[in-house]
Copies of this chain bind each other. A is one copy, B any other.
Amino acid sequence: MTAESSLAVLGARPRFSELLPVGQFYWPAWEQFEEATRGIFSRRYYTSQRVAGPLVVELQRRLQEFLGVKHAIVVRNAANGLMIATHTLGLGGRVIVPSWAPISVVQSLARSKCRPVFCDIDPQSQQMSSASVRRLLERGGIQGILGVHLWGNALPVFELEALAQEFGVALYYDASHAFGCRVNDRAIGNFGRAEVFSFHQTNILSTGEGGCIVTNDDALASKFVAMRGDHVSGGGVALQSATSRMSEIQAAVGLAMLVDFERNRRNNAEQRKSYEERLRPIAGIRILNPSSAALSNLQNLVGVVDHAVFGMTRDELLNVLRAENVAAGRDFHPASHRISPYSEGMADAHEPLHDTELAAESTFQLPIGARVTIDHIEQICDVIHQAHIHCASKRSAPTPAVAT
């Protein structure tokens, strides 16, 4: 059997019979789920109605403890949480945000008529660059900074805090990828005016659909609660509402997942170790290291292809993996500033986005989490290895090889 014949893209049988998706996909065991949800059936109270349900209240209390933060307000999802935060902070102008971020983060600004001003990233960590943020702030006209902690890593929070103070702008964060991560001895959730987590199935703590806004600011917290809830808060005034309630079942799942957090993080760590051991020897592949976080949830396995060294572009590699039924991702391609309407003047003049452009062409994500085994990881790394060998052999051949 030749190296080529073991790749599905060259005609072999795919390594996986079912699509292996990117995402954490952790979930309580059935028994745990039953225990968590049984009480709901006896109470016959299934979601918030004017006031938050008992499990929602309990989940918020436990999240506050876990994160060491004063207020946790669970919401239906992170995009909605960011929208609530943006509105409540009173933003309605130009807000700095990385182009290298989920487009949903950028779009959350639109509801409050904010215009994104895109900053570039640090090429090593791919986190937003505080140098780039500073240059944008120096131009003036900025109301706020929406930081995005990417991929289990943490932003340079102290530098950003100092910049926000120096220029007198609001700083808040999308922390969808960073639940349970820490900077020094503080959990993500304690930085800026507010931070927003996502509890989508792709993240380490999932409620199926869900999210959470956290803050240490009492006044902000009560505004978040008002905007999440039912429409009339009393006194004959209809507040802007995001109807962003979380149901009791979702809260029950969240409570169970919180108990499992450390076990799931350790599972990520083992899988990551296995990936690193197998991918490190392959020239032209670099795995991002969430080293700005003192503790990472390790929920994302993100790599960068140097195609001149590896012998194949990122998109070619993804085709090879997809042929094997590995749904490897190329988030975020195209980067936000290349997506309409932001590519067509909706975004204000931004920084040169050289490192964002490079990242968008070279970055890929591999599956890690509950649906992945060490055997899967061996297979995936072997596919990447075979692809590399195949390309190397083609290039060293006297005449160009023809794929059959």
Contacts and interface: CB of A to CB of B under 8 A. Distances in A.
A174 interface: no
A107 B76 contact: no
Given A38-B30, A49-B202, A104 B23 contact: no
Interface stretch (A235-243, A305-313, A394-402): A235-243
Given A46-B27, A107-B231, A209 B341 contact: no
A334 interface: yes
Interface stretch (A62-70, A244-252, A292-300): A244-252
Contacts of A33: 37, 41
Given A27-B46, A104-B243, A76 B209 contact: yes
Contact of A201 (B45, B232, B236): B45
A237 B338 CA distance: 9
B370 A107 contact: no
A208 interface: yes
A49 B237 CA distance: 37
* Main SS class of interface, A: mixed
A339 B80 contact: no
Assembly of this chain: how many copies?
A: 2
A343 interface: yes
A238 B337 CA distance: 11
A250 B209 CA distance: 10
Interface in A20-36: 21, 23, 25, 27, 30, 33-34
Interface bin, chain A: 35 or more
A110 interface: yes
A105 to B, nearest CB: 9
Contact of A76 (B37, B76, B102, B342): B76
A17 interface: no
Nearest to A248: B208
Given A104-B243, A237-B339, A44 B370 contact: yes
Contact of A104 (B47, B201, B231, B338): B231
Contacts of A243: 77, 79-80, 104
A46 B27 CA distance: 9
A46 B253 CA distance: 11
Given A46-B201, A232-B339, 20 more contacts: A27-B46, A30-B38, A30-B41, A33-B41, A44-B370, A45-B201, A46-B208, A47-B208, A47-B209, A49-B200, A49-B202, A76-B209, A103-B231, A104-B231, A107-B241, A236-B343, A237-B339, A237-B340, A238-B342, A249-B253
Interface of A: 21, 23, 25, 27, 30, 33-34, 37-38, 41, 44-47, 49, 76-77, 79-80, 102-104, 106-107, 110-111, 200-202, 206-209, 230-232, 236-238, 240-241, 243, 245-250, 253, 334, 336, 338-343, 370-371
14 contacts: A23-B49, A27-B41, A33-B41, A34-B34, A46-B201, A46-B206, A47-B200, A102-B231, A107-B241, A208-B248, A209-B245, A236-B338, A236-B339, A238-B336
Going nearest first, the 5 A-B pairs with the smallest beta carbon separation are A208-B247, A79-B243, A46-B208, A209-B247, A46-B201
